[in-house]
A = this chain, B = another copy of it.
């Protein structure tokens, strides 16, 4: 007996996805070309060297997003197949969608879009914002709803990044503002508009088991290991990249110890909470403290007062540390202007901000610091508004939001051959539907 949420148009997901893929193939066939081939031998060697410098980093990021983030999300014990698949589907859909939009927006030379690994990487970063945002509504949304979020968020992200980095000239190499802050508040906006001010009780299938916690911890550790690649890939090759790697390694190592300290101090009996570890290890030392404190005090407060649903705690994980990082960047710019000469600073900056620095460099460090703050405000405001609108769109009945009772269960989206191995809390969605019918 199959479970089908009421009024669910079974064919909407495959048909819209198939249409999207078809249009995309047409777009690629008509407009996309490779970069020009290198004609001479020395050029070929240069191309090969550039490839070897970026491809391992690119693969590291693929491992992070597909395997690491996927496993991290399997803390829901009966929803593992679904989160792995939805995460994978969203990553691929959003990357392709961002590739098309980028091509249309930025790279129309001579009627052709040129494609290389850097374009793919930029598109993958757009997809990262979607993966972060949907963390707020994980487990209670249908694949159709998730694809609508991706469809709306990718263009908004591209516009917001253009406004913040290109127009305002904000220095944001690690994506603190444009990725982490933006995606957090977009996700919270979606959650608010979608679920409104309803107070959910704890779902019986929401409680992690030791085994799902273990898988989730393995995912966290994979993310932790490859984090330096994520930061380095956006820097200029050479010294800037070397420093970014060293800084990230040290910050992460410090955050690991700080997380243990903070988590252990907050518990009455000094025990650790697996949730703290899973969520905090990836950000720096001070961020770790902010993050743990946020999980302990802010999340319950938000849930109680604002009735805001944030399944994966993206506010503590991306929002607060992102705001902290943006504030720190403003302070660092003011401090750097006092004790550092112009030429030294320029070594550590990325390519995209080079022009911006020249523009703002004359009006002084104060102007640049103001810019950082303005960029933060644009990211928070823009993402909240568009997130709320997207969340409102998700309430369309044709998007088949699953009823709360059937949420968080793989059997809603997968043919489960055998239920014997999953003797977790509660019964399966299928069984519940059968039981409901028998009562009637």
Contacts and interface: CB of A to CB of B under 8 A. Distances in A.
A8 interface: yes
Interface in A239-266: 239, 241-243, 245-246, 249-250, 253-254, 256-258, 260-262, 264-265
Given A221-B67, A260-B89, A14 B239 contact: no
Given A67-B225, A84-B217, A269-B2, A421 B14 contact: no
A162 B421 CA distance: 48
Contact of A237 (B44, B85, B89, B217): B44
Given A53-B52, A256-B92, A417-B207, A37 B347 contact: yes
Contacts of A334: none
B14 A84 contact: no
Interface stretch (A56-64, A131-139, A325-333, A374-382): A56-64
A80 to B, nearest CB: 5
Contacts of A277: 85
A59 B229 contact: yes
The size bracket of the interface on A is 35 or more
Contacts of A215: 214
A392 interface: no
A45 interface: yes
A151 interface: no
A126 B274 CA distance: 28
B257 A17 contact: yes
A74 interface: yes
A148 interface: no
Given A11-B265, A225-B67, A253 B422 contact: no
Contact of A270 (B11, B55, B237, B419): B11
A153 interface: no
Interface stretch (A174-182, A187-195, A408-416): A408-416
B10 A96 contact: no
Interface stretch (A105-113, A115-123, A359-367): A115-123
Interface stretch (A18-26, A298-306, A310-318): A18-26
Nearest to A425: B420
A415 B66 contact: no
Nearest to A289: B18
Nearest to A28: B250
Contacts of A264: 10, 13-14
A413 B225 CA distance: 24
Interface string A190-230: 00000000000000000111111111011001101110110
A95 B253 contact: yes
The copy count of this chain in the complex is 3
A211 B421 contact: yes
B17 A261 contact: yes
A242 B117 contact: yes
Given A37-B347, A60-B59, A270-B13, A257 B20 contact: yes
A119 to B, nearest CB: 9
Contact of A21 (B48, B67, B208, B261): B261
8 contacts: A2-B271, A15-B265, A28-B250, A52-B56, A56-B59, A117-B242, A209-B422, A211-B422
Interface of A: 2-4, 8, 10-11, 13-15, 17-18, 20-21, 24-25, 28, 34-35, 37-38, 44-45, 47-49, 51-53, 55-56, 59-60, 62-63, 66-67, 70-71, 74, 77-78, 80-81, 84-85, 88-89, 92-93, 95-96, 115-117, 120, 207-215, 217-218, 221-222, 224-226, 228-229, 232, 237-239, 241-243, 245-246, 249-250, 253-254, 256-258, 260-262, 264-265, 267-274, 277, 281, 285, 344, 347, 410, 412-425
Given A211-B421, A214-B215, 16 more contacts: A13-B260, A21-B285, A35-B242, A47-B238, A51-B237, A51-B238, A51-B242, A51-B245, A55-B245, A66-B224, A77-B421, A81-B214, A81-B274, A95-B253, A116-B246, A209-B422
